[in-house]
A and B are shown apart, each in its own frame.
Chain A
């Protein structure tokens, strides 16, 4: 498929688009039947390993918060792709405003950098939660809560 080059005929754009979409769907359907059940099991296995790894990293981050006398009041995980996960750590407002929190960003960055490979990537974000975080909004974006949020 062409990259973003303006080398198509704008007068025939509709036909060009239909051709590209058909090719993509055909390639996807062919690939899916060829991958078969073993590939699906492999997919599930990779997701499980990566989620388990991420849970362990979250535990390390929470322990680091504790070491700095900072509080955590929630953690959410999202599987972006089989090899890429996102985590949101929520903290009370006073923790979010605490200068010591800045050290946590260096800690999570080190985890992200050291664990990164073609098979795994995790990204941490930190925000505050006063007990009124919108769980429906998080869930609709694919974030699952790992802890019951409590008031900070």
Chain B
């Protein structure tokens, strides 16, 4: 599955779960993972600092070569959303990221209005993408 198809697949799941109303935690998860694939599709392939990267994985493997303090792949994605897409996309992406990655600390209890907002933030994020 290519990145955009994967993003759409997760987005469809997000909308399906949102309509169902009983899986608010999974609405958040699918919204975030849809966003992740949309932004990686938006950014790659790309020349960054004079080097061409066909996809995120190649970027991640090569960009931090020799670094003694490499970020994890999620943080690396957050950083290139900011540098390659812009502030507004980054703010909405990081809102979704924080919400998704800390769900376990709330025992996956997610309010319906938070789930609705997560789906909205995904749609808002998409408005900052061109591809």
Chain A residues with a Cβ under 8 A of chain B? 81, 83-84, 88, 93, 96-97, 101-103, 105-106, 109, 113, 116-121, 123, 125-129, 132-134, 137-138
Contact = CB atoms under 8 A, between A and B. Distances in A.
B98 A125 contact: yes
Interface of B: 67-69, 71, 75, 78-79, 82, 87-88, 90-92, 94-95, 97-99, 101-102, 104-107, 109, 111, 113-114, 117
Contacts of B97: 125
Nearest to A103: B91
Nearest to A133: B105
Contact of A119 (B69, B92, B99): B69
A133 B92 contact: no
Contacts, number: 70
Nearest to B92: A102
B68 A126 contact: no
Nearest to A76: B105
Given A118-B67, A134-B107, A127 B91 contact: no
Contacts of A128: 106, 114
A137 B107 contact: yes
Contacts of B106: 127-129, 132-134
Given A118-B67, A121-B71, A97 B117 contact: yes
Contacts of B104: 134, 137
Contact of A83 (B69, B79, B91, B99): B69
Given A120-B69, A125-B102, 12 more contacts: A81-B69, A84-B69, A88-B105, A96-B99, A109-B82, A109-B94, A116-B69, A125-B101, A129-B106, A134-B105, A137-B104, A137-B105
